[in-house]
Structure 1
Amino acid sequence: MKNILVALVLLSYSFLHSQDIKSPSEFLGYELGTEFSRHHEVVDYYEYLAEKLPNNIKLQYYGKTNERRPLFVAYVSSASNISNLETIRTEHLKSTNSQTVPDKAIVWLSYNVHGNESVSTEASMQTIYELLTKKMNYLENTVVIMDPCINPDGRDRYVNWYNENRNSPNNVDPNSKEHNEGWLNGRANHYMFDLNRDWAWLTQVESQQRLKVYNTWLPHIHVDFHEQGVDSPYYFAPAAEPYHEVITNFQRDFQVTIGKNHAKYFDENGWFYFTKEVFDLFYPSYGDTYPLYNGAIGMTYEQGGSGEAGLGILTKIGDTLTLKDRIAHHFTTGMSTVEVAAKNTVKLNEEFQKFYTNRNFKYKSYVLQGDAGKIDALTKLLDQHEIKYGWTNATTIKGFDYSNGQTKSVKTKDASLVVSTDQTKGTLVKVLFEPNAILSDSLTYDITAWSLPYAYGLDAVASESKINATATVNKPATSVLQNNAYAYLTNWNSMNDARFLAELLKENIKVRFTQKPYTLEGKKYDRGSLIITKSDNKNNNNFIEKLTTITAKYAKTLVPTTTGFVDGGNDFGSSSVHMIKNNNIAVLTGSPTRTLQFGEIWHFFEQQLHYPVAVLEAEYINSSDLKKYDVLILPDGWYGRFLDKEKLAELKDWVKNGGKLIAMGGAIKGLEGENGFAIKSKEIKKDSTATDALTTYDDTERESIKNYITGAIFKTKVDHTNPLAYGYDDHYFTLKLGDDAYEYLKEGTAVYLEKNTNPMAGFAGSEAKKKIAETLVFGVENYGHGQVVYMVDNPLFRGFWENGKLFFVNALFMVD
């Protein structure tokens, strides 16, 4: 009785005080929807609510962005639930191993992952106000977790731009400047990364910090609020095919349940909407799929608008779409979601428990082996996802061999990594590690292959049996450097080695590398192996101390030698042993580059390689600027207008005089032609006897996919004697994102596709496969005293294709 009375008192207290809180419009000083709120104003409102209603709302700051803006979530529920929040959380997580069946629903609402899809943060303020006033009954058996802005840096970039460029009053003419963002738009985060494609790869600080909190809850429902084109009606679940096969029948059906509830409210208001189209549930790194693979009902909601819409814009049919309209739609689906959750608490808890218990995957264990640096990079990702792993001794395992796509017996080495699906995160393990995800429909919204063994360049076997593994592995001891050594030697295989080199160069420690393999004192050193001599560094103060510190930092093993006279191969004074230049590197930015691809490069230098790079604005670059740099990187983009005859001539002169040009993706097209370099697009000769079959209007889209490659993995051949390919074996698995095709270089082809172009994983259309047969992937053209490095495929794709990154570093330092 006492507990009941306490609960009633708390409920009464919360209800009375909820009547006193200010609405967003009252607090902000302007009517919601008539201005865009800056991030600090949003923070202020949530802090105000938490201060006024501490029994119903609790804030948790979980980190900061690159630009130091706060990241936080708000827990919203009844007073009783907030006072028992930790107990609710722990009881909920116990249901993943069948210990309990709780009675509370956990709903997580994520807003503004894309900065210029700015309406959802505004809608979040209206949503939390409504929950704390008129709809507190939803909160009796529901905990709502709200992240008001996943991407504050991108959002403030957009809001500030809009406030600077809007008309007063705002102009609904789509041609007005306020509806046309420039190159540096607000969609992405500080480093120009798309945070909605980073849930699984965790390359960005926002994703890394958010997932720590997400893993402490694993909600029943997760909603990711977005915007799309101005003229598009509202989209909500159920989603389009393909659905990944691990998505359960309940997860499918409950999307329909929620969608029908949304439709009820939209129908009442006469609002247009669509479902079951465009937005599928396959690629694992979205804000809907990643939660799905962790047991939630993951959904994307898309409102028409985005950065183009501003405070109001005329649509093609002559209607005016306002920010108030957009807020109303997102507010409605958000409230509808919480309502459905509150009415289905029992079912959500029962099915959540089933998700974690009713699993029977074909492959029970994935066994991986390879370079220690690559294994270490993968285990760090697994730790972030709270995926468990272990280690096995040398043995023979029968299973699917990733290297050749066959089932056979494979011998493993000691300390091979084992990741099993028999664990809490087993479904996520299957999705991330499976050799080739099953596609129910080849029309997809994103890439169709991502398997981590390919992405990390590791030899792997998928076994149908569970492989026993130990929890720990013995790691080699850190090197103790000897003062009397002639040189210190180490291998070159992974990004850990690249970071080690970058730090040495920043400390002005001189490093050499070998272009020929050699043996010394019974150990073989491959091409690219690093040689750090005492003689080269005799004028570097505290050389041994610096080298010792850097070696320990990267857990490198340095082998000391007292001689430069090798047992087999070329001595250290040979012309095949080159000094690595501490290059002055620049990357082009602005138009004509793609923002996301520029961001990948920028982030790579600053957050992965930790090596300085100058960012050159394309609009102001000229030949005199280039003389200051040893390397210039042209990110993927559209270079037709930029690389006119005059600029191309300047680039050629710069390269001829010793510069190194790295052209990626679309930048290569700008370098070919009669005034360009030697690179040539592959021409496809049409069969003169073939006739074009007529295609019905309905079949046009589906018929066109035969010309596309939607992010498929291909096995390529590697010339590992080429400096661009040092550290690689004779094959490499590339992630191909399109059908751009270039002929082999007469000299300098480092990585290439042969005749067989069937992908190892993912979808590739029949015509696209023909086009890319016998074409270049990566290569080097020597031009005068310099080089042009061509990267047809993207080795830095979204920051997660780990095994491509060493090609990029080789282009920076090994190609000379």
Structure 2
Amino acid sequence: MRFLKPHFFSFLLFGLLISVSATAQSQLQSPEDFLGYELGSQWTPHHKVMDYFWHVAEQSEMVKAKKYGETNEGRELMLAYVSSTQNVERLDEIRKNNLKRTGLLEGKPKAGNTAIVWLSYNVHGNETSSSEAALKTIYELVRLDNPDTKEWLQNTVVVMDPMLNPDGRDRYVHWYKETVGDSFNAYGEAREHHEPWPGGRTNHYYFDLNRDWAWLTQKESRARVEEFQKWMPHIHVDFHEQGYTSPYYFAPAAEPFHKAITEWQRDFQYTIGENHAKYFNENSWLYFTREVFDLFYPSYGDTYPIFNGSIGMTYEQAGGGYAGLGIKKPVGDTLTLKDRLTHHHTTGLSTVEISSKNADKLVDNFADYFEEAQNNPEGKYKTFVIEKENNPDKLQALFSLLDKHKVEYGQAGQNENVSAYNYKTGQTRRVRVEKGDYLVSTYQPKGVLARILFEPRPELADSVTYDITAWSQYYAYGLDGYAVPEQLDVEAAPAPQKEINNTADEKAYAYLAEWKDLSDVGLLADLLKHDIKVRFSEKAFKIEGQDYAPGTLVITRSDNKNRGKDFERLVTELATKHNQQVDAVSTGFVQSGADFGSSSVRYLEKPRIALLSGEGTSSNRVGEVWHYFDKQINYPVTLVDTDYFSSVNLDNYEVLIMASGYYGSEIDSSQFDELRNWISEGGKLIALQGANSYLAGKDGFNIENKSDDGNGGDSPDSGTVLDEYGDQQRERISGFNSGSIFKISLDNSHPLAFGYDDHYFSLKLNADAYSYLEDGWNVGVAKGDARMSGFVGYKAKEKLRNTLTFGVQEMGSGSVVYMVDNPLFRAFWYNGKLLFGNAVFMVGQ
């Protein structure tokens, strides 16, 4: 590959750099010398990648590095800052100047425009070539005999994250090294091209980190975004891999673009793409642009930076886990790891080059972006109102997320009547904003991101997209509020704080805890782990002048006599730990409802829980359940792989969870009979999302696929048979729902819906439709046209009318919980986590 030809100034600068820096860099080694092998000939494990980056930082005055976090498995996360020696000496000044341009830091920036380019490698663990490319790229940036890169770095700081997902990458690399022979086998039939479950794409808990930038459910994401907020780069590149037969993909991206993306952000993607094309043309490498990879869903490594003012981009190299060290392509040539890293290295350097050439434009347009956000924000709605009477735990959880993204919020200083969109009803009406209601204005530095997070119906310019199309945080957190088209005055105010006053009372007959939120599930889990015996009320009741809803936890002294004086201390300490209030009452005789000795105040058995994992299950969906128990409520769960499920004694468990998957070839008929018998004898099966498709129509299970109402086919005179070939994708999406929000009607008298009102906003992820249960409880249903937000094809919308979303079937002494929609999807749908807690702890007791 070739880069800019050095001119006279470059040679002068080159000589000066050698005279000043040669001694400092005399010990700098190339990646090949440091590692002892040629890049691309084998995989470089995480620790060696880190070692080389630290080596470069120690030997070169052009680099500083820092550890910014650790993964779940204890692997290091690090950043390297690369620039001219003069810039490296004033990195903090450059960083603060940039933050002042955004308005996130007060003050006026000093003169001088320094472009900030952030390069992120290997967010998907088995897309491994980019971390290899990172080794080559940092060396090329700092080696003294490359005058071009030295010129670029005079006005550019490059931030490099060489490996975003070390746990997933090492999972893949270690497997491959154990599997490959003395040399790689390029034929796709070879076992080295067939990764076993769960694959290396995801992190330790099987989460896709490239879909977690906005939601920050994973520790790697939280650590990374905290550093991102300190810099707010002008360019962000996320290096990926795709199918091994594809050409290289780079910017400009495909439609749909979210309408919040500016013309400048669109245009500069073309400028970058043209620069890449120059080098790819010279080397006769195939590439494509403006297809497949759109800019809509806000939690990607390209879109999240875009909604924070950057030029965010995804670069996709052919390969992935299937390619290994080399794979024969259909055209007959062999794609090698060296090819793949070379392509990523080329676009990485090309990005630095074009950013340096356009540093003034980048910085000036970046500053304009934030000035516009603060003074003249676009979008239909200017203020988002969150009612102060919402559950304080949900408010705290939401505002914690906003704090991590530096999104400002406050409160209304006065009562005010305005026209607004009501999230609960989906209608625009006159509403009353009360003094003390929480407000998020788009007139702020992070105004665009605030708009993206809260807008009722994301502005989809084109319906052909491949991820969810709705994500409003009102629905995700189960909050009541409004979107107001006008700017409202916002008074500075902190997030609400709950007043907790838990006092041990030796005379207490019982302690009562509400059941409304994930925090309450966490408290229950902790009580059970400490062998505190707990009951819950199936009915509303009133005692000592206080009203309590169904689901309220009732912790009686009588049930816990063996704890002695330790009882009240432990209950109150655990409640305080979880920031929950427990009320001590002196009697079990209620003013209304059922007394605490009633059969409707149920004893809650401490469940032993198993989760099916392994081949046939979706690793992402298994990870969501695992993470829920392990990190969110801290309650034990046993993962059981399908390949030895037949030898598992289900009598050791009260609950079995089937995450979404394809179980047909993994569970044979005898295993299925054993599963059904276990349920009938008192077990509880929870089926999530695609697992319901596996159960539908099987003997003993009442869930049934909804029959075609006659709207799914095309008659010869309907016109669709004459559609053009080029429109086939749009015709297919008429029956498609990639992720939209539906208003689900709930029977909140059933334990599955305890803690909710008579509705729940559900993220519906597909067009799978099931009829109401004829013999069972239809706890949550989509009545009529229940869609609230997001794209749903017209055929899919019709199909989903009057369908089951959440149901419970009694089977002998046991039960089956059908959760057609997955309330744990990507761990960001906060309001669904209580629903899943109900399925685990409340149903069937």
Task: Pick the TM interval, shorter chain.
Answer: over 0.9
Counterpart of 1:516 in structure 2 is: 539
1:572-598 per-residue CA deviation (whole Å, 9 max, x = no partner) reads 111110011110001000011101000
Equivalent in 733, 740, 753 of residue 705 of structure 1: 733
Deviation at 1:143, TM superposition (A): 0.5
Counting only pairs closer than 5 Å after superposition, residues 251-290 of structure 1 correspond to structure 2 as 251-290=265-304
Deviation at 1:624, TM superposition (A): 5.1
Q: Decide whether aligned partners of structure 1 residues 397 and 301 sit closer, same or farther in structure 2, where only a CA change above 3 A counts.
A: farther
Counting only pairs closer than 5 Å after superposition, residues 631-642 of structure 1 correspond to structure 2 as 631-642=655-666
The secondary structure found in structure 2 opposite 1:307 is coil
Counting only pairs closer than 5 Å after superposition, residues 118-517 of structure 1 correspond to structure 2 as 118-133=128-143, 134=146, 135-359=149-373, 360-361=377-378, 362-369=380-387, 370-392=390-412, 395-398=415-418, 399-411=420-432, 415-463=436-484, 464-472=486-494, 473=496, 475-517=498-540
Counterpart of 1:72 in structure 2 is: 78
Q: Partner letter of residue 381 of structure 1?
A: L
Kept after mapping to 2: 8 A contact 1:32/1:122: yes
Q: Decide whether aligned partners of structure 1 residues 623 and 309 sit closer, same or farther in structure 2, where only a CA change above 3 A counts.
A: closer
1:598-655 per-residue CA deviation (whole Å, 9 max, x = no partner) reads 0101111101111000011111013752110000000000012223322221111000
Kept after mapping to 2: 8 A contact 1:112/1:155: yes
Q: Decide whether aligned partners of structure 1 residues 396 and 514 sit closer, same or farther in structure 2, where only a CA change above 3 A counts.
A: farther
Moved more, 420-429 or 327-336: 420-429
Deviation at 1:388, TM superposition (A): 1.8
The secondary structure found in structure 2 opposite 1:309 is coil
Q: Partner letter of residue 715 of structure 1?
A: K
Alignment pair present for 1:56 and 2:79: no
Q: Partner letter of residue 33 of structure 2?
A: E
Alignment pair present for 1:589 and 2:613: yes
Deviation at 1:217, TM superposition (A): 0.1
Kept after mapping to 1: 8 A contact 2:82/2:158: yes
Equivalent in 74, 84, 89 of residue 95 of structure 2: 89
Q: Partner letter of residue 710 of structure 2?
A: K
Kept after mapping to 2: 8 A contact 1:508/1:540: no
The secondary structure found in structure 2 opposite 1:654 is helix
Counterpart of 1:540 in structure 2 is: 563
Q: Decide whether aligned partners of structure 1 residues 674 and 329 sit closer, same or farther in structure 2, where only a CA change above 3 A counts.
A: closer
Figure out how many residues of one structure are paired with residues of the other and give that number: 810
Counterpart of 1:45 in structure 2 is: 52
The secondary structure found in structure 1 opposite 2:271 is helix
Q: Decide whether aligned partners of structure 1 residues 526 and 672 sit closer, same or farther in structure 2, where only a CA change above 3 A counts.
A: same
The secondary structure found in structure 2 opposite 1:143 is strand
Moved more, 631-640 or 419-428: 419-428
Moved more, 694-703 or 220-229: 694-703
Q: Decide whether aligned partners of structure 1 residues 474 and 665 sit closer, same or farther in structure 2, where only a CA change above 3 A counts.
A: closer
Kept after mapping to 2: 8 A contact 1:513/1:530: yes
Alignment pair present for 1:668 and 2:686: no
Deviation at 1:374, TM superposition (A): 0.9
Counterpart of 2:676 in structure 1 is: 652
Deviation at 1:393, TM superposition (A): 6.5
Kept after mapping to 1: 8 A contact 2:416/2:434: no
User: Following the alignment from structure 2 to structure 1, what is the Cα–Cα distance between the partners of residues 18 and 523?
Assistant: 59
User: Following the alignment from structure 2 to structure 1, what is the Cα–Cα distance between the partners of residues 748 and 664?
Assistant: 33
Q: Partner letter of residue 471 of structure 1?
A: A
User: Following the alignment from structure 2 to structure 1, what is the Cα–Cα distance between the partners of residues 691 and 497?
Assistant: 46
Kept after mapping to 2: 8 A contact 1:623/1:654: no
User: Following the alignment from structure 2 to structure 1, what is the Cα–Cα distance between the partners of residues 42 and 123?
Assistant: 20
Equivalent in 750, 763, 767 of residue 722 of structure 1: 750
Alignment pair present for 1:627 and 2:623: no
Moved more, 8-17 or 380-389: 8-17
Kept after mapping to 2: 8 A contact 1:254/1:297: yes
Deviation at 1:479, TM superposition (A): 2.3
User: Following the alignment from structure 1 to structure 2, what is the Cα–Cα distance between the partners of residues 766 and 13?
Assistant: 68
Q: Partner letter of residue 673 of structure 1?
A: G
Counterpart of 2:783 in structure 1 is: 754
Kept after mapping to 1: 8 A contact 2:642/2:667: no
Q: Partner letter of residue 103 of structure 1?
A: N
Equivalent in 120, 127, 132 of residue 117 of structure 1: 127
Alignment pair present for 1:807 and 2:835: yes
Moved more, 745-754 or 211-220: 745-754
The CA RMSD measured in Å over matched residues stands at 1.8
Deviation at 1:8, TM superposition (A): 9.9
User: Following the alignment from structure 2 to structure 1, what is the Cα–Cα distance between the partners of residues 73 and 649?
Assistant: 29
Deviation at 1:96, TM superposition (A): 1.1
Q: Decide whether aligned partners of structure 1 residues 685 and 445 sit closer, same or farther in structure 2, where only a CA change above 3 A counts.
A: closer
Counterpart of 1:33 in structure 2 is: 40
The secondary structure found in structure 2 opposite 1:381 is helix
Deviation at 1:689, TM superposition (A): 9.3
Q: Decide whether aligned partners of structure 1 residues 520 and 131 sit closer, same or farther in structure 2, where only a CA change above 3 A counts.
A: same
1:219-243 per-residue CA deviation (whole Å, 9 max, x = no partner) reads 0000000000000000000000111
User: Following the alignment from structure 1 to structure 2, what is the Cα–Cα distance between the partners of residues 711 and 396?
Assistant: 35
Alignment pair present for 1:556 and 2:580: yes
User: Following the alignment from structure 2 to structure 1, what is the Cα–Cα distance between the partners of residues 436 and 671?
Assistant: 53
The secondary structure found in structure 2 opposite 1:760 is strand
User: Following the alignment from structure 2 to structure 1, what is the Cα–Cα distance between the partners of residues 647 and 341?
Assistant: 49
User: Following the alignment from structure 2 to structure 1, what is the Cα–Cα distance between the partners of residues 529 and 623?
Assistant: 23
Q: Percent identity?
A: 50
Kept after mapping to 2: 8 A contact 1:191/1:599: yes
Q: TM-score w.r.t. structure 2 length?
A: 0.93
Alignment pair present for 1:565 and 2:589: yes
Counterpart of 1:24 in structure 2 is: 31
Moved more, 391-400 or 489-498: 391-400
User: Following the alignment from structure 2 to structure 1, what is the Cα–Cα distance between the partners of residues 266 and 26?
Assistant: 38
Q: Partner letter of residue 226 of structure 2?
A: K
- Name structure 1 gaps, 5 residues minimum: none
User: Following the alignment from structure 1 to structure 2, what is the Cα–Cα distance between the partners of residues 405 and 766?
Assistant: 19
Counterpart of 1:793 in structure 2 is: 821
Kept after mapping to 1: 8 A contact 2:611/2:639: yes
Moved more, 363-372 or 780-789: 363-372
User: Following the alignment from structure 2 to structure 1, what is the Cα–Cα distance between the partners of residues 86 and 413?
Assistant: 52
Kept after mapping to 2: 8 A contact 1:392/1:469: yes
Alignment pair present for 1:574 and 2:598: yes
Kept after mapping to 1: 8 A contact 2:500/2:580: no
Deviation at 1:10, TM superposition (A): 7.0
Moved more, 96-105 or 164-173: 96-105
Counterpart of 2:4 in structure 1 is: none
Moved more, 73-82 or 541-550: 541-550
Deviation at 1:17, TM superposition (A): 4.5
Kept after mapping to 2: 8 A contact 1:165/1:177: yes
The secondary structure found in structure 2 opposite 1:117 is coil
User: Following the alignment from structure 1 to structure 2, what is the Cα–Cα distance between the partners of residues 58 and 707?
Assistant: 52
Equivalent in 600, 603, 627 of residue 627 of structure 2: 603
Q: Partner letter of residue 162 of structure 2?
A: P
